[in-house]
Amino acid sequence: MKAFGAFAMPNHAVSDHYIKVVLGPIGGIPILIPAAGEEVVQAILPRLDGLMLTGSRSNVQPGLYAGPPHLEGTPEDPARDATTLPLIRAALERGLPLFAICRGFQELNVALGGTLDQRVQDLPGRLDHSTPVDQALGKVRTGKAHAVRVLPDAVLARCWQGLPWQPAAVPVNSLHNQAVSRPAARLVPEAWAPDGTVEAGHVRESPGFALGVQWHPEYDWAEDALSRRLFEAFGDAARDWAARRTTAPALAAE
């Protein structure tokens, strides 16, 4: 939920980058889920072939993971939190393909019982992940801020099979304050920034595709093969889900 216009009217909104990436490499039709609370979850889930959790300027409310209060002025979105956390749990239980980006990755961890660091840049020995270092004006979203080390046999690595890449030097952008602190028991970290920040992970024992990344591949998928392949892998999982949903009477009847 975001405030727009002179009267700061609440709006249910999403960046155009996410619309274009669904229409592009994912190959689907975007459906925006309103931040209307848990009551929308069971109604919308049977109509979806995949769930993408987007980034946002707002932070997950600290009370949801027993964290300290946010600093004054930190944007929050209680309506989104009240929708996405039960939505994540229900989607995972159902096996619906799920891809979480930035705030979405943080929501995924909290939904499963993990905790967050609120301002990584204030922690000793950590990078400033909120703004890429040495990026030219206009390249803040697409500029590569640091490399991530990726487990060679991880879900993330399998998305990149066939592409030239090195586990210790996969370049990513960086636009976040919050980050995973204690991973949930079911969230398996599989990529890290040079300062140890968890940059990606998959959900253990999930019946379907369930992956999250801390960076923003939606900004440069048109030029970056690594970013594009993540969305293609999610799209493949969603098409497989759609095919099984429409051909399996028991699943279609749920």
Strands (DSSP E) contained in the chain are 2-4, 9-11, 51-53, 98-101, 116-117, 146-150, 170-172, 179-180, 187-192, 198-203, 210-213
Q: 189 near 198, Cβ under 8 Å?
A: yes
- Predicted confidence (pLDDT) per residue in 52-103, tens digit: 999 998 999 999 999 999 999 999 999 999 999 999 999 999 999 999 999 9
**What does the pLDDT read at residue 12?**
83
- What pLDDT is stored for residue 248 in this prediction? 56
pTM, two decimals, is 0.91
* Residue 92 tokens, joined: 């995972």
Distance CA 211, CA 204 (A): 10
Q: Which amino acid is at 164?
A: P
Distances in Å between the alpha carbon of 91 and those of 47, 84, 108, 215?
12, 10, 11, 22
Range of the domain at 17: 12-252
Instruction: Kindly state whether residue 195 falls inside one of the protein's structural domains.
Output: yes
| Adjacent-strand bridge partners of 13 | none
* CATH code of the domain in which 131 resides: 3.40.50.880
Q: Which helix (H) or strand (E) holds 217?
A: none
- How far out from the chain centre does Cα 128 lie? 20
pLDDT of res. 254? 47
* 169 found inside a domain: yes
Angle at 143 (CA atoms; ends 127, 76), nearest 5 degrees: 60
- CA gap 102, 108 in Å, rounded: 10
Residue 78 lies in a domain: yes
Below-50 pLDDT ranges, the chain = 133-137, 250-254
Alpha-carbon span 237 to 62, nearest angstrom = 32
State the burial class of residue 153 (Cβ atoms within 10 Å of its Cβ: 0-12, 13-18, 19+).
exposed
Domain tally, the chain = 1
Characterize 110-122 residue by residue with b for buried, 16 or more Cβ atoms within 10 angstroms of its Cβ, and e for exposed. bbbebbbbbbbee
What's the rounded Cα separation, in Å, for the pair 97 and 80? 20
- Name residues whose C-beta falls within 8 Å of residue 74's C-beta, 6 or more positions apart in sequence: 59, 118
Q: Is residue 6 part of a domain?
A: no
Coil, helix or strand at residue 85: helix
Residue from 121, 91, 120 nearest 180 by CA: 120
In a domain, 188, yes or no: yes
Q: Please check whether residue 4 lies inside any domain of the structure.
A: no
Per-residue pLDDT at 253: 45
Q: Which of 102, 146, 159, 199 is catalytic?
A: 102
Which residues does 147 contact at the CB level (< 8 Å), separation at least 6? 168, 169, 170, 171, 172, 193, 194
Identify the active-site residue in 17, 176, 202, 216: 216
Exposure string over 225-236, b if 16+ CB within 10 A, otherwise e: ebbbbbbbbbbe
Q: Is 159 a catalytic residue?
A: no
Nearest residue to 110 (alpha-carbon basis) of 44, 28, 5, 186: 186
